[in-house]
Amino acid sequence: MARICFHLDANSFYASCERLFRPDLRTKPVVVLSNNDGCIVALTREAKALGLKRGTPLFQIREILEKNEVAVFSSNYELYQSISDRVASIIVRAVPELERYSIDEVFGDLTGLPKHPDDVVREIRSTILQWTRIPCCAGIAPTKTLAKLCDHFAKTYPAFGGQLNWFDLTPERRVRALALTPIRKIWGIGGRMAEKLGNMGVQTAADFLKIPSGSIRRIFGVVLECTHLELQGVECLPLEPTPKQRLQICRSRSFGEPCFEIEDIKASVTTHIAESTRMLRRESLTAKRLRVYFFTDPFRTDLPSYAADVEREFFEPTNDVLELTCAALDLVDRMFRKGFAYKKAGIILTDLVGLRERDAERSLFAEPESDLKKERSRELMATLDGLEKRFGKGTVVPAAALLSSRWRMKQDRKSRCSTTRWDELIETAS
């Protein structure tokens, strides 16, 4: 039986999330800004109609925003992730396999379901809209690449009613659809690859398919050959319902304003450690290597520059927030230099090992009290995670995270975290 998969993606997801608790904005233009309120990263159809575009810096469009009463929001990732989880929980009730590709898009398997694929996807989209008020579009096809392409057409052309089924298209319409698709719009083909193909006269998906698959593999490799085959309806990219184990965890933020003191760096790094170790424990992972870095603004040539980048390897992999925080603060103490305006700090955890794997491969040279230490650490971390689950993220943090708030990202227009924080719940009049 041929595979039937679908790709579903939320429309202007960040902006749609902001509208959930602001019904007064349901027909008004809305934009969401990037980190530190730098530029537009999401916008509604009404905002696009004003000529606004993704990536435009805020300072260039202030007059347009004010004149047209555009609602402007800082990014609220905690809210977006919460809504994303709710959307995924709705979809997984209807399909046997689901791959969460990103915060606002999923792939799913419709093969063998008793209902017609169109009906299943239509019901999913209707339920998501009814339960969360998030509008979605979808594409149905024999491969993930074609499903994503169909989703693009469903979103671009309202006549499709929000979803498009590749199986319903005649051969002529399929050729036409491929001819209308710029090569850079094909999933898996980036800007550089599109440029190389363009130099060969390949401007559209239809042009791309005129090249024999063997030539694609010989010139560009097996990855692009998979894309070529997928556009022909040959499945090369199976669904991945179970996420692959992470190879590393990276956390970093540009500062809201220049930071000069070691307390600023320590608070930033400690916060990143707390967030990263929370992720480690949630996925039953440990890390053997920690990297800490911080640096000045590379674009401010009028100021003295400095960059610190240092690693620490642990005797045994860990996910203990206190152990990793102490190690990170020690690295900051060693590398910090006064007299510089720091712009960004971050951490990277690598050499990730599953918790069971770590315990099973306990080093022969471990100290006798190592098992007791690990058990106490496990109990303490379980207690911290339990408190956060009950009272919200950030309920308990290492003291160093409170040394400074100067480093924190600029979010002057941030909305409430109305689905995850008790103290930010929506209030209603009785």
Q: Domain boundaries in the chain? A: 1-168, 171-244, 249-402
Tell how far CA 221 is from the center of its chain: 27
pLDDT at position 356 is 79
242-248, long-range: CB < 8 A, 24+ apart: 243/100, 245/283, 245/285, 245/352, 245/354, 246/283, 246/285, 246/352, 247/350, 247/352, 248/348, 248/349, 248/350, 248/352
Confidence of residue 170 (pLDDT cuts 50, 70, 90): very high
- Bigger pLDDT: 364 or 168? 168
The structure tokens listed for 147 are 């499903």
Give the list of residues 6+ apart from residue 17 with CB closer than 8 angstroms, or none.
76, 79, 80, 83, 134
For residues 258 and 343, the answer to whether their CB atoms sit within 8 Å is yes
DSSP 43: E
Rounded CA-CA distance 101/187 in Å is 12
Query: What is the widest separation between alpha-carbon atoms in the chain?
Result: 73
| 106, β-bridge pairs | 8, 100
Rounded CA-CA distance 155/132 in Å is 19
The region that residue 182 occupies, defined by phi over 0 for left and psi between -120 and 50 for alpha, beta otherwise, is beta
Look up the CATH number of domain 171-244. Answer: 1.10.150.20
pLDDT at position 312 is 95
Please compute, for residue 116, the number of CA atoms within 13 A of its CA located in the half-sphere on the CB side. Answer: 6
For the cut 70, the answer to whether the pLDDT of residue 35 exceeds it is: yes
DSSP assignment of 262-322 equals HHHHHHHHHHHHHHHHHHHHHTTEEEEEEEEEEEE-TT-TTS---EEEEEEEEEEEE--HH
For residues 359 and 285, the answer to whether their CB atoms sit within 8 Å is no
Rounded CA-CA distance 296/307 in Å is 6
Per residue in 349-400, pLDDT (tens digit) is 999 998 878 776 665 555 655 667 778 888 889 998 898 888 877 788 888 8
Confidence of residue 272 (pLDDT cuts 50, 70, 90): very high
pLDDT at position 363 is 55
Rounded CA-CA distance 134/84 in Å is 10
Report the chain's mean pLDDT, rounded to a whole number.
91
Going by C-alpha positions, the residue among 38, 47, 137, 131 that lies closest to residue 419 is 131
φ/ψ (deg, to 5) at 114: -65, -30
Domain 1-168 homologous superfamily, CATH? Reverse transcriptase/Diguanylate cyclase domain (3.30.70.270)
Per residue in 276-300, pLDDT (tens digit) is 999 999 999 999 999 999 999 988 8
pLDDT at position 273 is 96
- Kind and range of the H or E run holding 240: none
DSSP 50: T
Rounded CA-CA distance 228/213 in Å is 7
Q: Is 15 exposed, middle or buried (0-12, 13-18, 19+ CB in 10 A)?
A: buried
Per residue in 303-350, pLDDT (tens digit) is 999 999 999 999 889 999 999 999 999 999 999 999 999 999 999 999
Per residue in 172-190, pLDDT (tens digit) is 999 999 999 999 999 989 8
3-state secondary structure of 82: helix
For the cut 80, the answer to whether the pLDDT of residue 205 exceeds it is: yes
The structure tokens listed for 49 are 């109609």
**Domain covering 249-402, topology:** Dna Ligase; domain 1 (3.30.1490)
The structure tokens listed for 369 are 């009290």
User: H helices within 296-347, ranges in order?
Assistant: 321-335
- Kind and range of the H or E run holding 214: helix 213-220
